Amino acid sequence: MKIALIAHDKRKRNLLNFVTAYKPIFKEHTLIATGTTGKMINTEIGLEVKRLQSGPLGGDQQIGAKIAEDDLDLVIFFRDPLTAQPHEPDVTALLRLCDVFKIPVATNEASAEIIVRGLENGWLDWRTVKESAVLYDE
- CATH number of the domain encompassing residue 112: 3.40.50.1380
Number of domains in the chain: 1
Does residue 91 lie within any of the structural domains?
yes
pLDDT for position 25? 97
**Does any domain span residue 19?**
yes
* Catalytic residue set: 60
Query: What is the tens place of the pLDDT at every residue in 33-83?
Result: 999 999 999 999 999 999 999 888 888 899 999 999 999 999 999 999 888
Please indicate, yes or no, if residue 134 is contained in any of the structural domains.
no
Residue 15 covered by a domain = yes
DSSP secondary structure code for residue 126 in this structure = G
- For the question of whether the overall pTM of this predicted structure is more than 0.85, the answer is yes
In a domain, 137, yes or no: no
Residue % of the chain over a pLDDT of 70: 93
Do residues 19 and 4 make contact, with C-beta atoms less than 8 angstroms apart? no
Evaluated on CA atoms 62, 56, 113, 105, the torsion sign reads: negative
**pLDDT at residue 94 is higher than 80:** yes
- The mean pLDDT value for 9-36 works out to 97
- Does 10 fall in a domain? yes
Residue 138 lies in a domain: no
Range of the domain at 59: 2-128
